[in-house]
Structure 1
């Protein structure tokens, strides 16, 4: 399964990273590279849209947590968009719903 990564400029100062496919041990490094690239370009308010994600494993979670830490160390933040119960369950089980701001839509994330 290919991992799709699309970057779009949201309303300032947000950058939206839409992720599609499976985020696992094989594809997570590409997600990590993209997040590092965005931060190095000065993008410090990133919304990761997980609506197109079919599967997310612990490696993918680790990449998202690492991205969040990197952004917070640059006075930024990483928010998530996710409405799929099977993906949300992963965040609930791991307690990461307390760490990440999770929204129902990109509009909801940019309005916060």
Structure 2
């Protein structure tokens, strides 16, 4: 039986942007790790916060809830927020839950 991939996060700061690369599985077990890592980044309102999901293999309702809370916090602070490189299976889930329009900017396809 295949061992589930653990969740991973890596942050890269560029001029005007903070990019968070996520990989593995974002679920109830890894939610606290993501919440703790994202809290200070959400407050960096002087730069765009970008989540790169290229290596994310799975997300459950807990992970989606965290994304929604990040969207709300960034919107309340009038701070830019983008999600990029969404894998097709995860994009389908975002579409089904209705959150896609809040995560994707007009520059993305």
TM superposition score category, shorter chain reference: 0.7 to 0.9
Contact 1:22–1:55 (CA under 8 A) maintained in structure 2: yes
Q: CA deviation at 1:70?
A: 1.1
Listed as ranges, the matches of 1:90-109 within 5 Å are: 90-101=93-104
2:24 to 21, 26, 36: 21
In the alignment, structure 1 segments of 5+ residues that lack a partner are: none
1:1-112 mapped onto 2 (5 Å cutoff): 1-10=5-14, 12-42=15-45, 44-101=47-104
**Could you list the runs of 4 or more consecutive aligned residues of structure 1 that deviate by over 4 angstroms after TM superposition?**
41-44
Runs (5+) with no aligned partner, structure 2: none
| Deviates most, 81-90 or 53-62 | 81-90
Q: TM-score, normalised by structure 2?
A: 0.83
Larger radius of gyration: 2
Higher mean displacement: 93-102 or 34-43: 34-43
Q: Report the count of equivalent residues.
A: 104
Could you say what the CA RMSD is over the residues aligned between the two structures, in angstroms?
2.0
Q: From the superposition, tell whether residues 52 and 102 of structure 1 become closer, same or farther in structure 2 (CA, over 3 Å).
A: farther
